[in-house]
Amino acid sequence: MKKLIILFVFVLTNFLLLAQEEGMVDTQTTKKLTKEQKAEQRRIEAEAVAKQVDWMVENRNFVLEANTLSDKYGNQANVSSMINFIAVDSNKLTIQLASVSGMGGANGMGGVTTDGNITQFIVNRTGRNKSGYSIRLYTMTNIGSFDIVFTIMPNGIADASISGNWGHRLNYHGTLVPLKKSRVFKGMTI
């Protein structure tokens, strides 16, 4: 009887170890599938964003919502993307620079807002896979003419460098958003 109980315990222990090992394999397989599924989901989302960026550039219908501004010396300031932007709508352009304090400034928001007409719009594909964009545009506004260079990544991250008649340069760093989905607030234009 003692041998029978020992044999039974031995068989039961082996059975439990085998079951646990199979469970480990299933868990590892599940983790691997989950990683693959997440990677596939990220790839699909990246493709969708890249197509949206392509559409925005081709239709000249986008807003660069800046969350950081910098000057030609590399000095940076974090800003609100709702009030610091460059909007392109076909052949029209709006440039806004504003302060969160909203005090002073010609636009009533501690900065400047100007509208203008785009006189030249040059698009070039950039990057290893030609998936990004470099856009150079010239615009005439009430406060002067500007040369603006956009660098746009396929994931929607964008930079713009604005140069004017006075020799200074201001850089906008942020995200490219379709005009209709943008949540910017436009101040009074000059």
**Sign for the pseudo-dihedral over CA of 48, 50, 56, 62:** positive
* Among the listed residues 181, 124, 127, 190, the one whose alpha carbon sits nearest the alpha carbon of residue 154: 127
What distance in Å separates the CA atoms of residue 172 and residue 86, rounded to the nearest whole number? 8
| 118, two tokens | 């785009």
What distance in Å separates the CA atoms of residue 95 and residue 92, rounded to the nearest whole number? 10
Whether the CB-CB separation of 115 and 144 falls below 8 Å is answered with no
Which pLDDT score, from 0 to 100, does residue 74 have?
Answer: 87
Could you tell me the domains of the chain?
60-181 (2.40.128.410)
Tell me the per-residue pLDDT of 98-110, one tens digit each, with 9 for 90 and over: 987 767 778 888 8
Percent of the chain topping pLDDT 90: 59
User: Does the predicted model carry a pTM greater than 0.85?
Assistant: no
Which pLDDT score, from 0 to 100, does residue 164 have?
Answer: 86
What distance in Å separates the CA atoms of residue 150 and residue 148, rounded to the nearest whole number? 7
Distance in angstroms between the alpha carbons of the first and the last residue of the chain: 101
Give the DSSP letter string of 113-174: EEEEEEEEEEEEEESTTS-EEEEEEEEEETTEEEEEEEEE-TTSEEEEEEEETTS-EEEEEE
pLDDT confidence band for 29 (50 / 70 / 90): low
pLDDT confidence band for 189 (50 / 70 / 90): confident
* pLDDT higher than threshold 70 for residue 4: no
Which pLDDT score, from 0 to 100, does residue 20 have?
Answer: 52
* pLDDT higher than threshold 90 for residue 32: no
Whether the CB-CB separation of 52 and 156 falls below 8 Å is answered with yes
